């Protein structure tokens, strides 16, 4: 991912972007804070820690100011690491893909990741495991296929694909142009033709209440119905922006879905960490109060010798 792409994907958490639990400034769910605090509680002062695919530092944001650890972070996007450094002082940052981490074998007491390593594919976990020192551990929260987040993403992706297929935005621009032309007969005719599209998006909102489809319909209705207060360029400009947002949303949701790991994927990851000398490697669904489905896999493993 390019530097400039990072904030478009992860920083934003408005209606069209962002992740359920984690955005670039994320890590807000209390269960995540509890999870990471328990991990850090077992460490000695001076422990050397690496956060892989750190984003803007959601994991380290759970540390007290007096932590006394030697903190390192990597991400493929320099922009993410800049945001991390602005937010948390004293972290050594290195731009790197999670599949090729520029550190010596066994150079960290703890290697962590939250919805990060998996973006580089299953093979990247062995690379993170390579860095775990004797007596150290790897701890990661990993996107889980068909879990709470992935199920939401699947539903939202289907509706975003539907928006693109019915060319909702293009038809909305056409309707706007006609409405501002002052030709009433033509506007009435185009409005009639637009009704089935509105119906399709309304049905999508019944199936899946949140997502770009819901945001787009509500926003367009408001602008179109109140168009006398606006210029044509305001309404068309907003729709053109929404079309760009739609492309980004499709890309982001597809990437997140591709990164979500199944039970078989996790079994292979566990086996590869064991093959790289880690013991007690466990991948368990991470459930939280209030969500029927797990929000992640919790992956843990230790290097005994």
What are 284's strand-pairing partners? 298
Report if residue 6 touches ligand SAM, rule: CB under 6 A: yes
Looking at 17, 18, 55, 294, which residue binds ligand SAM (CB under 6 A)?
A: 55
| End-to-end C-alpha distance for the chain, whole angstroms | 36
Half-sphere exposure for 14 (CA within 13 Å, toward CB): 13
In sequence order, what are the residues at sequence separation of 6 or more whose Cβ sits closer than 8 angstroms to the Cβ of residue 220? 172, 239, 242
Report if residue 98 touches ligand SAM, rule: CB under 6 A: yes
Q: Are strands 92-95 and 108-114 parallel, antiparallel or unpaired?
A: unpaired
Coil/strand/helix, residue 205 = helix
Q: Nearer Cβ to ligand SAM, position 47 or 140?
A: 140
Size of the site for ligand SAM (CB under 6 A): 22
Within positions 218 to 257, which residues make up the interface with ligand SAM, using CB under 6 A? none
Residue nearest to ligand SAM (CB): 55
User: Minimum CB separation from ligand SAM for residue 16, in Å?
Assistant: 16
Judged by CB under 6 A, the stretch of 109-117, 173-181, 229-237, 278-286 that binds ligand SAM is 109-117
Report if residue 287 touches ligand SAM, rule: CB under 6 A: no
Report if residue 49 touches ligand SAM, rule: CB under 6 A: no
Report if residue 101 touches ligand SAM, rule: CB under 6 A: no
Judged by CB under 6 A, the stretch of 116-124, 182-190, 231-239, 282-290 that binds ligand SAM is 116-124
Distance separating alpha carbons of residues 272 and 294, to the nearest angstrom? 23
Report if residue 18 touches ligand SAM, rule: CB under 6 A: no
Coil/strand/helix, residue 123 = coil
Measured in whole angstroms, how far is the alpha carbon of residue 208 from the centre of its chain?
A: 19
**Longest CA–CA separation in the chain, Å:** 80
**DSSP 8-state assignment for residue 29:** -
User: Minimum CB separation from ligand SAM for residue 255, in Å?
Assistant: 8
**DSSP 8-state assignment for residue 17:** S
CB of 134 closer than 8 Å to CB of 128: no
User: Minimum CB separation from ligand SAM for residue 1, in Å?
Assistant: 5
Judged by CB under 6 A, the stretch of 51-59, 175-183, 194-202, 228-236 that binds ligand SAM is 51-59
Report if residue 160 touches ligand SAM, rule: CB under 6 A: no
Q: Nearer Cβ to ligand SAM, position 125 or 238?
A: 125
In sequence order, what are the residues at sequence separation of 6 or more whose Cβ sits closer than 8 angstroms to the Cβ of residue 203? none
Looking at 16, 17, 20, 27, which residue binds ligand SAM (CB under 6 A)?
A: 27
Distance separating alpha carbons of residues 258 and 269, to the nearest angstrom? 16
Of 101, 4, 114, the residue nearest 54 (C-alpha): 114
Report if residue 58 touches ligand SAM, rule: CB under 6 A: yes
CB of 269 closer than 8 Å to CB of 112: no
Q: Nearer Cβ to ligand SAM, position 127 or 159?
A: 127
Residues that bind ligand SAM (CB under 6 A): 1, 6, 10, 19, 22, 26-27, 53-55, 58, 75-77, 80, 97-98, 114-116, 119-120
């Amino acid at each position: 991912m390019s530097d400039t792409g990072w904030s478009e994907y992860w920083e934003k958490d408005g209606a069209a972007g962002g992740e359920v639990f984690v955005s670039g400034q994320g890590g807000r769910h209390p269960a995540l804070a509890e999870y990471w605090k328990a991990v850090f509680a077992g460490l000695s002062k001076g422990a050397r820690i690496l956060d892989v695919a750190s984003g803007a530092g959601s994991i380290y944001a759970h540390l007290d100011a007096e932590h006394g650890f030697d903190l390192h972070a990597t991400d493929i996007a320099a922009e993410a690491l800049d945001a991390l450094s602005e937010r948390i002082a004293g972290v050594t940052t290195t731009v790197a893909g999670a599949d090729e981490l520029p550190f010596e074998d066994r150079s960290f007491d703890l290697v962590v990741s939250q919805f990060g390593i998996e973006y580089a594919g299953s093979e990247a976990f062995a690379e993170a495991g390579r860095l775990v020192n004797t007596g150290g551990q790897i701890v990661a929260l990993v996107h889980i296929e068909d879990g709470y987040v992935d199920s939401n993403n699947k539903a939202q992706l289907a509706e975003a694909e539907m928006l693109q297929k019915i060319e909702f935005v293009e038809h909305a621009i056409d309707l706007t142009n006609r409405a501002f032309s002052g030709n009433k007969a033509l506007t009435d005719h185009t409005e009639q033709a637009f009704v089935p599209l509105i119906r399709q998006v309304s049905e999508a909102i019944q199936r899946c209440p949140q997502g770009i489809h819901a945001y787009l319909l509500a926003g367009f209705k408001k602008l179109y119905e109140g168009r006398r207060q606006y210029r044509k360029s305001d309404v068309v400009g907003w729709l053109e922006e929404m079309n760009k947002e739609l492309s980004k949303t499709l890309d982001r949701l597809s990437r997140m879905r591709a990164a979500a790991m199944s039970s078989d994927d996790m079994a292979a990851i566990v086996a590869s960490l064991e093959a790289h000398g880690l013991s007690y490697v466990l991948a368990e669904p991470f459930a939280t109060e209030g969500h029927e489905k797990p929000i992640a896999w919790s992956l843990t493993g230790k290097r005994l010798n």
